A = this chain, B = another copy of it.
Amino acid sequence: MIPRYARPEMVAIWSPETKFRIWYEIEAHACDAQADLGVIPRENAEAVWKARDVEFDVARIDEIEAVTKHDVIAFLTHLAEHIGAEEARFVHQGMTSSDVLDTTLNVQLVRAADILLADMDKVLAALKKRAYEHKDTVRIGRSHGIHAEPTTMGLTFARFYAEMARGRERLLRAREEVATGAISGAVGTFANIDPAVEEHVCAKMGLSPEPISTQVIPRDRHAMFFATLGVIASSIENIAIEIRHMQRTEVLEAEEYFSPGQKGSSAMPHKRNPVLTENLTGLARLVRMAVVPAMENVALWHERDISHSSVERGIAPDATITLDFALNRLAGVIEKLVVYPENMLRNMNKFKGLVMSQRVLLALTQAGVSREDAYRLVQRNAMKVWEQGADFKTELLADAEVTAALSPAEIEEKFDLGYHTKHVDTIFARVFGENGAH
């Protein structure tokens, strides 16, 4: 975890306090289930809930662990200090440490996913708002970084919306992937504990019972979870790169928001750096780097080896904390992005009218001009624009061979931007719902 790229709510999920709290809840619910089964006395199960409002003392547990060399035993010892040794003696009966640890990890991942889903909702809301705001803001579409045909800024926001919405769907599924718990014993056979305990604990913790576990919950679930975070991070990078391009000095179609008093902004007004989106580009790499080790974690030896554990101690907090931060930063960037519609028009007209050359070429051939002639006509006028800065439409209107084939009105029509935006509503309707209305 890099503190400057971390938000408290997500960090809290990975704190020792939260971990011990979840451990406690799992143990307490397991006792209830064991009492229901008649395996342990009801009063012992009830006694565990005496600690319901206790904040466990992490330092004390660490102290005990320094002696016992075992984290779960240390916790249970500390728990007994709260509820009484006699009352606590049936806690954890029939369970394996992994039952607690693995179920806890998944509770944490589910909670992390819930925060991330809320983050994505913020990003989606911002994208939708900006999409409608700039639905008709024309700018040049670019392939290969080169001007192609007009499009609108609203379509750019809308496609990021559609991409993020897909990401949200994926995250829902990824959450589902890890929303399982297991209380199945040393090798997953339930030899020492009834499956009913697992069912009860999972229900209480918002999980499904893992249909078949070994000592651990299978790690293909987690691989899929982190792979999904990696794809979402890549979509963040996609948006960040677009904004970085828009903000470059020569393009200047948008800028990340600068507070009016922000140091240096007015003595060097050109020097407003897209540092937030550059940062997002890097954060995307950090999230993505969890994907390969998560996949390498899948192949454990027999009923488990512990190689996955150190990896998860790193990537589980790091990837979720970083993605949470990145999504929030992204939402802010989009909400406040300063868009420059005039610059968009100016850029589009850098080579006056030239982006319409293909339409004119097509119109000439449709008007009966041979392909070779049409090409020659467009070329000679296009080159005047390219080399001498002439205006394409003006040149065409002045070219007798062209006007022999196309009327002035027909030529004018080729430069009508409405031709390019006529289906924006249709696309918005596809992305945002039935009629594309806000």
Other-chain residue from B69, B151, B361 in contact with A188 (beta carbon distance below 8 A): B151
**Chain B residue contacts of A358, Cβ below 8 A:** 267-268
- The answer to whether A221 has its CB under 8 Å from any CB of chain B is yes
- The answer to whether A64 has its CB under 8 Å from any CB of chain B is no
The dominant DSSP class at the A interface is helix
Query: Which of A159, A173, A421 counts the most B-chain CB atoms under 10 A from its CB?
Result: A159
- The answer to whether A290 has its CB under 8 Å from any CB of chain B is yes
Binds B, one of A21-29, A117-125, A334-342, A378-386: A378-386
**Chain B residue contacts of A158, Cβ below 8 A:** 212
A365 — nearest CB in chain B belongs to which residue?
Answer: B89
User: 0/1 per residue, A212-237, Cβ < 8 Å to B?
Assistant: 11110010110110011011011101
Indicate whether A299 sits within 8 Å of B212 (C-beta atoms), given known contacts A189-B155, A224-B170: no
CB contacts under 8 Å to B, within A375-434, are: 375, 378-379, 382-383, 385-387, 419-424, 426-427, 430-431
Report the bound CA distance from A105 to B263 in whole Å. 26
In angstroms, how far is the closest chain B Cβ from the Cβ of A155? 7
A377 — nearest CB in chain B belongs to which residue?
Answer: B267
**Chain B residue contacts of A298, Cβ below 8 A:** 231, 234-235, 237-238
Q: Are B242 and A426 in contact (CB under 8 A)?
A: no
A263 — nearest CB in chain B belongs to which residue?
Answer: B69
User: 0/1 per residue, A294-314, Cβ < 8 Å to B?
Assistant: 011111111111111111011
Indicate whether A159 sits within 8 Å of B235 (C-beta atoms), given known contacts A144-B273, A186-B149, A282-B306: no
Report the bound CA distance from A378 to B289 in whole Å. 45
- The answer to whether A272 has its CB under 8 Å from any CB of chain B is yes
User: 0/1 per residue, A113-152, Cβ < 8 Å to B?
Assistant: 0000000000000000000000000001111111111110
Report the bound CA distance from A420 to B278 in whole Å. 27
Q: Are A378 and B267 in contact (CB under 8 A)?
A: yes
In angstroms, how far is the closest chain B Cβ from the Cβ of A90? 11
Q: Are B431 and A299 in contact (CB under 8 A)?
A: no
Indicate whether A146 sits within 8 Å of B271 (C-beta atoms), given known contacts A420-B189, A423-B190, A424-B189: yes
Report the bound CA distance from A190 to B150 in whole Å. 11
Q: Are A263 and B70 in contact (CB under 8 A)?
A: yes
Other-chain residue from B142, B237, B241, B423 in contact with A249 (beta carbon distance below 8 A): B142
